[in-house]
Amino acid sequence: MKEFTYKICDELGIHARPAGLLVKEASDFESEIMIYKGEKSADLKRLFALMGLSVKKDDTIRVTISGSDEDAALTAIEGFFKNNL
């Protein structure tokens, strides 16, 4: 299992446009990808679950990735956060 944390810098947090792109990015991988905000968690491949976390600017999230392609998924998802959020 791979894991990283990230502090959201985007003024709007994880809103509809980047959330859709993030779900699309996560869906390219076989690994299970979960996002955590405090005690809440969501499958990163499910848009409504992700939006339900209501991630805002300055929130710190944690992402866990486990599966056969977790190394590639970690690189892609972590890169997405750094470049877009």
Note if 15 is an active site residue: yes
**Strand pairing category for 40-43 and 32-37:** antiparallel
- What b/e string do you get for 40-73 counting C-beta neighbours within 10 Å, with b at 16 or more? eebebbebebbbebebeeeeebebbbeeeebeeb
- Residue 74 and residue 30: Cα distance in Å, rounded? 12
Residue of 15, 43, 56, 67 marked active site: 15
Catalytic residues: 15
